[in-house]
Each structure stands twice: as C-alpha cells, then as structure tokens.
Structure 1
C-alpha cells in the first residue's frame, strides 16, 4: 500500500528533488510549498517504473503573503532561485494574489489554494520543515495520484466554467501519452 510516508521516502531518495527543496527553503518564504507536477510526476514516474525522470515544464513554488502581493516580488524571487540553480525552470507565485488572476474567491492559505487546483492528482505539495524533514500536503488525498486516476477536484466540479478549464487542461496536457496506465475521467464520465 502506498501512503504519504512512502511518497515522502521517494522524494527523500531523490537528490535532485531534495536540492530543489533545500534551495527553496533557503528563501524563508511564508507558507511555502513546491506543488503540482513536481510531486505528481514523481509519483507517476515511480509507478510506471520509469528509469528516467519525465521532464516537467516548471517547478511551481507557491507561498502565501498578504503583506506584499506585488507580482514583481515573485519575479525577483525567481531570479534569486536561478542564481542558486540556473538550470531549473522556476515559477514563483504568491497565492495571496492568485485568486485575482484566476477570478476566484480569495484563498486563505497555500494549502487552500492547492485544494482548488483542477485535478486531485495535481493537488499536492511538498516542503521542508524547520528541521529539514519533508512534509507532504494532499488536501484532496493521495488515492487518485497513487491509483493513477485523473479527475477534477470538488472545486472544479461545482462550476461550469471551471469544469471547462479542467477539460481543456486534460486535453492540452495529454498526460496519458506519457503515463499510459492513467485513467483519465471527464466531467461527464462517471468515476469512483
């Protein structure tokens, strides 16, 4: 059985991931996480027995800071991260302002924002605690990601416009072409 501890151990054994986590931790951002494809792809690669990491388009670093929602700060943080690890495609976002861009109600924290990602298998985040231990958040649970299921989060099911965004994403991402064991569910498809 795959549980959170098992996923954490996969990350701890991955030097590349741990280097990225340590580098991000050094910024001392409030309520920070590395989320989405960083975690999801690791799980799917492992469950598909891939010997090489599937490239991901960016490393999504999020944090929550109501005191400064200036997008320029995010860009400066990306530049700082690039000085440490220039080959990493950093993307830094303050979730305290992202609801404006996404035309959604304000988030209360980074984990709240993660819970409102389009897919349950993407609604994941990892970070290091003060002692350097890996923490995993999965506000929608880990069942879907470990069972290779792609389906919308409850937040994306409850609104037609968001449901349309979910459908567009799964078409655009075409994850099944990379991870062929995935079970991809559409909004109108019954799923467990």
Structure 2
C-alpha cells in the first residue's frame, strides 16, 4: 500500500458514516462492489482543509457488477440495499449496476458509453482523475482501494479532465459544484471546448 493509500484508508476509517455504509454493504454480499466518487474523495478534501468529517458529502455512490442487466434485477438490489439502512443513510446510498450503465448513460448525459466489464473499469471513465477512486471493505476488514489514475490529484486537490476520454459535457457543472464547497481546489481547465 502506498503512503497516499494509507492516508486515504485512515481518513475513511475516521468517518463513522462511511464506515457504516461500507460495513453494511459488505454484509449484503453484492458482486464486485465499491463505494466511489464523492463520499471518498470529498473526505480527503475535508481532511486536507480542516473541514469536519462529512462536510459536503451529498450521497454514497454504490456500484456493483451483475451480468443480469434487467431493470427488475437492479431494482431488487436497490430495494435490498435501502432495507439494510435506517434514515438518513437509506436515502443517501445510491445504487447502480455498472453492467447496466451503457443502457441509460447516453440518454441522460448525451455521451456514448461502451459496456463495462467490471466495476473498477467504470472509474477510468469518471469526469476527473480526482473523482476516480473507489473503496471496498474486505472480509478481513482491510479497505481495498481502486484508483486508476492514482491518488495524487485527490490529495493535491487538483481537478483536471480525465485524459482517457473527451471532456465530459458536465465538466463545468462538476467543477462549479466542487469549487463552491472547496474553493481551495486547483482546476486545470480543458484545452478544447467543455
């Protein structure tokens, strides 16, 4: 484990709500699952800026991968996850089968999206490398980290476009949202139109 991964794991373990989410989801035994995006990188930003644990975190994105791409199968998992939590977490854990993302992504976001082979591959398609981090609480209580771009941008609080894809149509909105809560961010704007 790298020094940054160790720091990330320490930050996660210090967040009671995130640890509750990780522990509860682990108990559900979902296939190829991770908690990713804001609930992870925003915890780092809070630690880096001295903000309280949980500041700015709007939800807990839960991705899992099930080859059954039917809506009924995903809806069953959504209901199962919701039943595992009491409010307020029940309303904050957002569940998506990564095997289904390509079915709705283009209509919702206006961009084509190739089918994914697994949950971790989804991270490589996120808007910015800083957003592309996922964690899972393993059976032995270790926290595994998936970060295809590394953790440097997360800890340096740098937002730059994902170099593996075109600039996301939602780039400006994502930057404005993050900057509004963490004005300490360094933003590297795309070279082409956003």
- With the shorter chain as reference, the TM-score category is 0.7 to 0.9
Which residue of structure 1 lines up, in the alignment, with residue 95 of structure 2? 92
- Contact (CA 8 Å) 2:15, 2:54: kept in 1 or not? no
Which residue of structure 2 lines up, in the alignment, with residue 34 of structure 1? 35
| 1:140 CA drift (Å) | 1.1
Q: How many residues align?
A: 182
Q: For 2:117, what is the secondary structure of its paired residue? A: coil
Deviates more, 1:20-29 or 1:54-63: 54-63
Provide the TM-score with structure 2 as the length reference.
0.85
The counterpart of 2:133, out of the listed 124, 139, 160, is 124
- Indicate yes or no: 2:174 matched with 1:169: yes
Which residue of structure 2 lines up, in the alignment, with residue 69 of structure 1? 69
Provide the TM-score with structure 1 as the length reference.
0.86
| 1:147 CA drift (Å) | 0.3
What is the 5 A alignment of 1:99-178? 99-102=102-105, 103-156=112-165, 159=166, 162-171=167-176, 173=177, 175-178=178-181
Over 3 Å counting, the alpha-carbon distance change for 1:100 and 1:8 in structure 2 is same
* Alignment root-mean-square deviation, CA: 1.9
Cα separation, 1, equivalents of 2:69 and 2:132: 23
Cα separation, 1, equivalents of 2:69 and 2:26: 20
- Contact (CA 8 Å) 2:63, 2:95: kept in 1 or not? yes
